[in-house]
Amino acid sequence: MFRFVPLVWANLWRRPLRSIFTLLSIIVAFVLFGLLEALRFGLFAGVEAAGDDRLMVTNRMSIVRDLPGSYLGKVQGLAGVKAVAVQVWFGGWYQDEHNQLQVIAVDPEPFFTVYPDVHVPPAERQAWITDRAGVLVGRRIAADFGWHVGDHIPLQQSIPYKGDSNTWDVTVRGIYNQDAADDTGIFIQYKYLDETRQFGRGRIGWMVPRLDNPADAKEISKRIDALFENSGTETKTAPEKAWAGDFSRQIGNVGAILSFIASAVFFTMLLVAANTMAQAVRERTNEIGVLKTLGFTHAAVTRLVLGEALCLTIAGGLIGLGLAKFLALGLKPGLSRIVPLFDLPQRAVLIGLALTVLLGLLAGALPAARAMRLGVAEALRGA
């Protein structure tokens, strides 16, 4: 099979300008595909990180509305619930309002039970648990701001801290990393927040129960919501993965938009590549006749045409995906605050490689079929 490569290669460069433009269109399509996939990964990675055995219990009206702290004990008491992590959105910024932070207040003990995928060195973990004004920071955000364990950092927030100050002085007690997550979060202690904040004391943002058995998620979700049905603050409970997926979709069904753009780009590219191949075969009718005269079978000629199309799309795809990876790495620092996980994942690269083959076969299919059907004498006459 490799002995035909020089023939395929020579045919590709028969009209260099046409091949280069086609190649460029394929490269551009795959660069766009790669960047869109990097964006999709950045936006939806949270869904992947969500646990199968965790639930999200939020205010039925909206996640921005809080829940009474008394709900915690009721959920903890349900059979099948291993532990419940209380969470309160704190937000805030560091030094400048542009440096927005994802700060969440949690209760350390149940937090580690509910999130076994959060990894902290044991000494740092203990140090955080014992220091109410301590914070646990993600590996990536610590690296971005150059924070180290023991550093004092002033977090700014609109919630007044005791008196008139909006500055919360905290100490970095540990640096964590979480499996399949962006590591850009900061965790402060719920008790510290609750003691010091001016309003909303005793209230919690949402709860994350971890279950003994993920298969019970649907049933326990119903039981939790039933507990608070017809109360002043009803809840909405869903498996964390489903909730994260819904939350991501609220951004505006970005996934569908990204898919639509990628499909449109690929369809256009497919037309360009197919047109190139159709022209290439049409202007070589006589040569196809010569090859068949020499003993090339219909199948061999078909493979040659498909080989040309595949060479174009695979070469363009590889260059495009390589450029996309390179661009994603370059854009990542600038996007780290908005889309922390902006990166071309391996799965997208594999899908891209599969697409190069699929598009090559599609682009070459009709011209190859025409080349196959040509009779020898008919082709020699330049039919």
Q: Closest CB to other proteins among 19 and 87?
A: 19
In angstroms, give the least distance from the CB of 316 to other proteins: 20
Most distant CA atoms of the chain, gap in Å = 96
In angstroms, give the least distance from the CB of 364 to other proteins: 18
Among 296, 302, 321, 328, binds other proteins (CB under 8 A): 296
Report d(CA 328, CA 344) in Å as an integer: 7
Task: Give 279's strand partners.
Answer: none
- Do residues 155 and 92 make contact, with C-beta atoms less than 8 angstroms apart? yes
Among 60, 74, 298, 370, binds other proteins (CB under 8 A): 298
Among 222, 293, 334, 369, binds other proteins (CB under 8 A): 293
Mapping DSSP onto H, E and C, the string for 43-91 reads HHHHHHHCCCCEEEEEECCCCCCCEECCHHHHHHCCCCEEEEEEEEECC
Q: Is 5 near other proteins (CB under 8 A)?
A: no
* Interacting span for other proteins (CB under 8 A) from 143-151, 171-179, 242-250, 295-303: 295-303
Q: Closest CB to other proteins among 10 and 79?
A: 10
**313 token code pair:** 């799309």
Return phi, psi of residue 97, to 5°: -65, -20
Among 61, 290, 329, 354, binds other proteins (CB under 8 A): 290
In angstroms, give the least distance from the CB of 20 to other proteins: 16
In angstroms, give the least distance from the CB of 183 to other proteins: 54
Give helix then strand counts, H and E, for the chain. Answer: 14, 14
In angstroms, give the least distance from the CB of 375 to other proteins: 7
Judged by CB under 8 A, the chain residues 357 through 376 that form the site for other proteins are: 375-376
Q: Closest CB to other proteins among 148 and 381?
A: 381
Task: Give 237's strand partners.
Answer: 57
Site string (270-289) toward other proteins, x via CB under 8 A: ----------------xx--
65 alpha-carbon distance from chain centroid: 27
Residues 6+ apart with CB under 8 A from 290: 380
Among 6, 202, 252, 330, binds other proteins (CB under 8 A): 6
**49 token code pair:** 């990180």
Return phi, psi of residue 271, to 5°: -65, -40
**214 token code pair:** 């993920």
Q: Closest CB to other proteins among 11 and 184?
A: 11
Q: Closest CB to other proteins among 239 and 367?
A: 367
Written as one string, the DSSP assignment of 171-189 is: EEEEEEEETTS---EEEEE
Among 73, 232, 295, 330, binds other proteins (CB under 8 A): 295
**133 token code pair:** 């004004």
Q: Closest CB to other proteins among 365 and 376?
A: 376
Task: Give 355's strand partners.
Answer: none
Our CA dihedral for 127, 131, 137, 143, rounded to 10 degrees, sits at: -70
In angstroms, give the least distance from the CB of 11 to other proteins: 6
Q: Is 17 near other proteins (CB under 8 A)?
A: no
Residues 6+ apart with CB under 8 A from 174: 120, 121, 124, 125, 127, 128, 134, 136, 137, 149
* Interacting span for other proteins (CB under 8 A) from 10-18, 144-152, 159-167, 230-238: 10-18
Task: Give 239's strand partners.
Answer: 55
* Interacting span for other proteins (CB under 8 A) from 8-16, 37-45, 94-102, 340-348: 8-16
Residues of this chain that interact with other proteins (CB under 8 A) are 3-4, 6-7, 10-11, 13-14, 286-287, 290-300, 375-377, 380
